[in-house]
Amino acid sequence: MKHGTFVLLALCAGAVACATKHADAPAPGTPTPPATTTAAASADTEAKLRTVLAMPHRSEANRQRDQYRHPVETLSFFGLRDDMNVVELWPGGGWYTEVLAPFLKDKGKLGVTNTVKGTKYSDMLKAKPEVFGKVDQRIIDPPKSLNFGPDGSADLVVTFRNIHGWRADDKPYDDKVYAAVYKVLKSGGTFGVEEHRAKPGADPSELKDTGYVSEDWVIKRVQEAGFRFAGKSEVNANPKDTKDYPEGVWTLPPTLRLKDKDKDKYLAIGESDRMTLKFVKP
């Protein structure tokens, strides 16, 4: 090999290495994992999440929803690490809690919000202390009481398909939720959002009771609370979702509100088209 060719190859290799390093670099303000690179932390997170997904505490029905919810890719996009202090808002039936709790059990912390009426979720936690024993329930009474934890304590706050509920009433309180998220997060902490996505440019006033929310509108509202928009992922996109159903998003699985009527049609569509957004507290 000629000397000039060798030098050229070495320079190209260096350029590729630099480009790779730049691509793996976190956005400004994002917490940097201690004593490791972001790429290595992401690989470790993905491997551990796949282990959790295979654990026996998850029902077969919940496993079937992995194909629509992409938990590994979604949580990795949010920057999840197993040493984080994480808060999950409005956990519903606990689908994501089943993933987050064992993932964070040894090194991290998981706090979840619950209402004073939320007994079914509480019973789920009590039934499997070996999985959920360290989960910290934080009782809220929205919109009057929205204390998600000590100020500046959380590395990551996540919410899955809840924003439409914060806007559904005659007196929406999504702004109060975003303010509470901002308060509980550390500087540089991340707010991860997944939500049913309306058609581009949809009027929020026309989306009531459909379950769908405009992506641009969500980004604007969260930014108004002081957050920096750090990026989006299409991992939970579903182009089959036409978003024009008689019972809104609940026409689709897993709810299937129309029951057997056109059931095969809605099963073929799958779960809703969803936005997956990441915000950072400066």
Counting the structural domains of the chain, the total is 1
Round to whole Å and give the CA distance between 213 and 196: 6
Pairing of strands 228-233, 274-280: antiparallel
Tokens 């039936």 map to which residue?
A: 93
**For residue 64, what is the domain's CATH number?**
3.40.50.150
The pLDDT of residue 204 is 76
pTM: 0.86
Would you say residue 241 lies in a domain? Answer: yes
The pLDDT of residue 15 is 39
Round to whole Å and give the CA distance between 161 and 24: 28
Would you say residue 14 lies in a domain? Answer: no
Would you say residue 209 lies in a domain? Answer: yes
Would you say residue 236 lies in a domain? Answer: yes
E strand intervals along 15-124: 85-89, 109-115
Would you say residue 23 lies in a domain? Answer: no
Which uninterrupted H or E stretch holds 215? helix 215-224
Pairing of strands 274-280, 185-196: antiparallel
The pLDDT of residue 249 is 98
Would you say residue 148 lies in a domain? Answer: yes
Residue-wise pLDDT tens digits, 167-188: 877 789 999 999 999 999 999 9
Would you say residue 179 lies in a domain? Answer: yes
Pairing of strands 274-280, 109-115: unpaired
Would you say residue 227 lies in a domain? Answer: yes
Domain assignment of residue 166, given as a range? 30-280
- The pLDDT profile of the chain, 282 residues, written as one tens digit per residue, is 444 433 333 333 343 333 333 333 444 444 444 444 577 778 999 999 999 999 999 999 999 999 999 999 999 999 999 999 999 999 999 999 999 999 999 999 999 999 876 688 999 999 999 999 999 999 999 999 999 999 999 999 999 999 999 987 778 999 999 999 999 999 999 999 999 999 998 887 789 899 999 999 999 999 999 999 999 999 999 999 999 999 999 999 999 999 999 999 999 999 999 999 999 999
The two tokens of residue 254 are: 């897993």
